[in-house]
Amino acid sequence: MRTPGRWMIAVVVGGAVLVVLSILAIDRSLTTYVEHHARGRLEALARASLGLAEMRLEQITTTLLDLAATGIDDCNPQVIEAMRRAVFSTTILKGLEILDDQGRIVCTHAGVPLEVPAVSREYQVAGQRFGLAVVRFRNRIDRAVRLRLDRPGGRSLSSIVAADALLPDTVFDDGRGSRRLRLTLGSGDVISTRPAGDEGAGLDDGRSLTVRKSSDRYPIAIVAERSRETLADEYQDLLMIGRLGSTVFFAFGLGFLWLSVRRNHNDPVATLKRAIQNGEIVPFFQPTVDTKNGRVRGAEVLARWRSPDGSMISPANFIPLAEQSGLIYELTRALMKRARDEMGAAYASRPRLRLSFNLFAGHLADARIVEDMKKMFEGSAVAFDQLVLEVTERAPLPDLGEARRVIAMLQELGIKVAIDDVGTGHGGLSYLLKLGVDIIKIDKMFVDAISTERYSQTIIETLVELARSMGMEVIAEGVETFEQVEYLRLKGIHEAQGFVFAPPLPASSYLALVEAMERPHLKVVPEPLAAVDSAA
């Protein structure tokens, strides 16, 4: 028979064991979370850096092909001058050479041979006539990339590319908390690093988080890494709170969870479904504006949840739930129908105005969206050619081939398709090349960095040039200053949206803005747009 003392000891010991196990479990979960979060940031950094390197190399290959098309068999003054202009107009290009069939230098843009001893063997670019190798430029310790265009039956053309321009010019922490980037060849030969001169970093000894992203088009890869030891310093507050909380509030947490389950009679998915059916999901309209004359070109439709008490619920609190539960399809249809009805009269008399809707990646998994668009807009006051459907890069498309087929069906109706958040997500340039879209939207991240990041302007200019060559329109998102408006206008981006013009507006305010923009006695420039928004 157990005595009360022994029973109490058993309870205390059992409670202590339970607390210790909970501490260990939470500590393990926190450690896993920290590493997962850190790895996600490394993957985002690696994707963005690889996209930049690919874009830079694509720029050089285009330059070489353009030069080759002019004829480079003779080193006459015209050819030398053409190479010199190409070098001076491309900041990352340091030299051009014409080679004979034995690989000997015939002439250069500078008139004297470039000293570029090879560091690695030459790799062929898959499916192309280019060879790529790492060299040392002018016998310095700085590395460069040699990209050579092979011309069967003719002389080859070789370029020297600054290696440090192939990685983002990001300020990396020095010391224990730093993240490190390495751009390498397929063999592992280092091309460039951030921080500079950190070629020896990244031993795979299990003490570092390492993410590797390889290019599909070039024999290069990005390795992003950071030491696990630094995670404890960066996330020490989170780890400390978690460990203390697991000890102090373990029992309270169980009790609170039980009470929460008892009191929470409403299923959040059911609540959202009722809100959609009751018309509580309403469209707000963020205008897109012509940067040349300030006229409204159209609007992007954004979902807002207006609860019965009049309060507004942020999309961040229900859009992810809608996507996970599959209600996103019903929500999108409801939003389109309401926007169609509210904008019908205004858009029928203004055929130049456009109405944009955001699609979830699953919308392009099959042709249901095509049938939905036909049912909702065929014969309506809003014409098909006034509609734009935006596909975000932030979520991966499950099947690019099927997505391309669905996009083509939408375009046959007259609907335009745009890629949103260009440069920030999973697709990279492959979406532009494979989906056949009509419009690209430059992400706010690049617009914000126009005056702060050295390469942001170059990225924007490259995207504009790429879009122009592919016959696409360009829209800039997240424009917040008049300096940004002026820069975008000078670079040929004539359509933009952002708080400098107007925030997302309810239908009545947006229609008032459209009316105000079309009064003949008004001189329409960006400043009055902000005033109309504040009045609304």
CA distance 445 to 494: 18
Q: Which amino acid is at 458?
A: T
Domain ranges of the chain: 37-241, 267-535
For residue 4, the model assigns a pLDDT of 43
Fold of 267-535: TIM Barrel (3.20.20)
- How far is C-alpha 261 from the geometric centre of its chain's CA atoms? 39
Q: What HEC string does 82-131 produce? A: HHHHHHHHCCCEEEEEEECCCCCEEEECCCCCCCCCECCCCEECCCCCEE
Can you name the residues that pair with 54 across neighbouring β-strands? Answer: none
Report yes or no: 164 and 170 within 8 Å, Cβ to Cβ: no
- From 375, 395, 385, 377, select the one nearest 328 (Cα to Cα): 395
Strand locations in 423-466, DSSP E? 439-442
Site of tokens 């979406």: 431
Report yes or no: 156 and 98 within 8 Å, Cβ to Cβ: yes
pTM above 0.75, yes or no: no
Write out the two tokens for 225. Answer: 């890494």
Q: Which amino acid is at 362?
A: G
How many other CB atoms are found less than 10 A from the CB of residue 340? 19
For residue 527, the model assigns a pLDDT of 47
- From 45, 35, 42, 39, select the one nearest 238 (Cα to Cα): 35
Helix (H) or strand (E) holding 59: helix 4-69
Q: What is the dihedral of CA 83, 87, 90, 95, to 10 degrees?
A: 120
pLDDT along the chain (536 residues), means of 10: 49 59 70 80 88 90 86 81 88 86 81 71 82 76 83 81 83 58 85 72 64 89 84 68 64 51 63 91 94 91 91 89 90 95 94 93 90 94 95 77 92 93 64 84 84 76 85 90 89 90 93 80 44 38
Q: How far is CA 322 from CA 101, 317, 319, 326, 369, in A?
A: 62, 10, 5, 6, 17
For residue 357, the model assigns a pLDDT of 95
* CA within 13 Å, CB half, 300: 24
Q: Which amino acid is at 91?
A: T
Report yes or no: 446 and 423 within 8 Å, Cβ to Cβ: yes
3-state class of 246 per DSSP? helix
